[in-house]
Amino acid sequence: MKAGLRIALAATLLLPVPAAAQAGWRAVERVETYAISGKTGIALYRSIGENGPKAGLGRAIAYTDYKLTWRRDYRPQGGGCVLAAAKPNLVITYRLPEPAGDLPAATRRLWERFIDGVEKHERVHGEIIIDITKKIEALSVGLSVADDPDCTKTRAELQRRLPPLAEELKRRSREFDREEMSEGGNVHRLVLGLVNGE
């Protein structure tokens, strides 16, 4: 799994999660699709393997990608500097396969059950990203450094404090996927259900 600005998921699909309303901001969520073909569960899964987005050395079924930028209000104050406000602009993009054409009724049922289960999984990834963004916001607002009239030390101090949160995002995403995608895990069972028609 690739983490950081891109969380590549090798055995799962992504569907949108509801945009989280925050104090003064909302995450923007988008869905992008790529075409797959097939009339059976195994054919659809093979097509995903051939057409899925590249992730590392192979291909993923889908991925969650996000872009996080900030508007920050640094204010000189009493010879020091305070970070008075920090408003995130968070855009989460979910990329998932979409069957081309109509599916036979039995395959459609398998596909819908698969997508429904994966949607629940992906909502957790969206929640993790939003949670980390809220933690960055809490860490930022009110941060101050004395003897910093041009606010350069305050900016540097904020950057020094951010890497542990980036690591937390990676760790939480990896742990969740490890549990869900392990043999017998929820996503593993969903894949088997699609492929084996169970």
The closest of 156, 25, 160, 141 to 73, measured between CA atoms, is 141
Residue 74 lies in a domain: yes
CA–CA separation, 8 vs 13, rounded Å?
10
Residue 57 lies in a domain: yes
pLDDT of 95 higher than 70: yes
Residue 156 lies in a domain: yes
Domain of 176? 6-193
Residue 52 lies in a domain: yes
Q: What phi, psi does 105 have (nearest 5°)? A: -55, -45
Per-residue confidence band for 115, with pLDDT thresholds at 50, 70 and 90:
confident
Looking at per-residue confidence, does 25 or 22 come out higher?
A: 25
Q: Where are the alpha helices (DSSP H) in 41-82?
A: 41-51
For the chain, how many structural domains are there in total? 1
Cβ count within 10 A of residue 171: 12
Per-residue confidence band for 61, with pLDDT thresholds at 50, 70 and 90:
confident
Contact 186, 121 (CB under 8 A): yes
Structure confidence by residue, pLDDT tens digits, 37-50: 999 999 999 998 89
CA–CA separation, 190 vs 198, rounded Å?
9
- Residue 152: per-residue pLDDT: 97
* pTM of structure: 0.83
The closest of 29, 36, 25 to 65, measured between CA atoms, is 29
Per-residue confidence band for 57, with pLDDT thresholds at 50, 70 and 90:
confident
Residue 1 lies in a domain: no
Residue 54 lies in a domain: yes
CA–CA separation, 156 vs 21, rounded Å?
29
Structure confidence by residue, pLDDT tens digits, 165-186: 999 999 999 999 899 989 999 9
Residue 180 lies in a domain: yes
Residue 198 lies in a domain: no
Contact 194, 110 (CB under 8 A): yes
- Residue 23: per-residue pLDDT: 55
